[in-house]
Amino acid sequence: MVLAFRFPDVGEGIHEGEIVRWLVHEGDSVRLDQPMVEVETDKAVVEIPAPQAGTIVRLAVREGETIQVGEVLVVIGETGAPAQPAALPPAPASVSVVGSLDIALTELPPAPEMARATPAVMPPARRVLAIPSVRKLARDLGVDLTMVTPTGPHGRIRREDVLQAAKPSQPQPQRASSTAPVSPPALEHGPVEYQPLSALRRTIARTMVTAATTAVPVTTTDEVDVTELVALRERSAEAAAVQQVHLTLLPFMMKAVVAALQQHPTLNASLDEAQQRLVLKRYYHLGIATDTPEGLIVPVVKTVDQKSLLTLASELAHLTELARTRRIALPDLQGGTFTISNYGAIGGIFATPMLLLPQVAILGVGKLLRKPVVYHEEIAVRTLLPLSLTFDHRALDGAEAQRFLNTVMTYLANPARLLLTL
């Protein structure tokens, strides 16, 4: 028997993925759970394992193409069977569970019978890339998708393409003949280059639009004197290095944030609009916004209140590396209750961080500044840390947000008091 293996639902509301790299070729033998392909979703790059041992009959999607959940990814035959062209079946009526993924499987008749039933002179049909809602629109309007010119990324048909194809053809007005070529509008002012948006960038765009149009974000800013904290970090760095841990200021800030959240629980919450209530989280999972070559990813460090500074530093380094190489697992991107964006590591003093819904607050951290300030009634050069707190005004007011920020600053300015909370 031949098995049509469909792109599985990998969780977290993911509906499609982009084929990054095939790890097998047609005709290869694979064993159960052998990695077959790397797929980029809007969260991470994941490896899809083989659901059974056998021979790769057909790779149904090329590298760089986008595939929807439920579409055929690869066709696998019996072990030792020669690779034969296989027609793709209709969507399966049932879903089997293999490992941690929901895998859609469909059994096909033996490949030789299928080969005999398929006329050799029949040309292959053009692969139509369109999401289910666009396909339904085409059916409702009586539009043949194979005749529609796609304008989306990787040849995907968009809703606008279907609507355009459904318009009745209009006679073109007569124009004066001209031998001069007409430049496309995009080229009128000079050469351009097109860069398709990756799955991650498309997700970031949707998330930012949702946050900007749903929440009521307000940002408050302040500066805190962290001279003593910086000195403590420098004294602790050598001891941490002995344990092969690079200790930065971020674990200290995470501890200060958690200590403040415990005193101001309305910032460690999410807004349940349907039930008109605030959901206060009694656990502390901090998301750490991480810059990657493909875009912003937010790994989540779990149970920060229960971990030591060295443990937090070690986990941060590990998760950051996984995020930057797009190898991070989906559970490590889920469950955050509050987020820290350390844009100061790149540069910048103050910013207006965007909320990561359904969280109600996010703390932005600027770069350390050496500035002359009044200290004990004298002018002294101290190390200041700029902070920007964005909060959802639907969930809390500015006074409570500022009280939370004041508490964070108290711990950062007095590391001895912070250590008492560890």
The one catalytic residue in 189, 318, 376, 393 is: 393
Helix (H) or strand (E) holding 269: strand 269-272
Tell me if residue 318 is catalytic. Answer: no
For the chain, what percentages of helix, strand and coil (3-state, to nearest 5) are there? Answer: 30, 30, 40
* Structure tokens that stand for 296 in this block: 């912003």
* Structure tokens that stand for 394 in this block: 């639907």
287: nearest Cα among 249, 266, 258:
258
* Residues 6 or more apart whose Cβ sits within 8 Å of residue 370: 381, 382, 383, 384
> Taking a C-beta distance cutoff of 8 angstroms, is the pair 184, 165 a contact?
no
Count the Cβ atoms, other than its own, within 10 Å of residue 253. Answer: 24
One DSSP character per residue, 396-409 reads --HHHHHHHHHHHH
**Structure-derived torsion over alpha carbons of residues 178, 183, 189, 190, reported in degrees to the nearest 10:** -130
> Taking a C-beta distance cutoff of 8 angstroms, is the pair 18, 64 a contact?
yes
Count the Cβ atoms, other than its own, within 10 Å of residue 141. Answer: 12
* Residue count of the chain: 422
324: nearest Cα among 285, 289, 365, 278:
289
394-410 CB burial, b ≥16 within 10 A, e <16: ebbeeeebebbbebbbe
| Largest interatomic CA distance in the chain | 93
> Taking a C-beta distance cutoff of 8 angstroms, is the pair 17, 101 a contact?
no
* Residues 6 or more apart whose Cβ sits within 8 Å of residue 225: 373, 375, 382, 383, 384, 413
* Residues known to be catalytic: 393
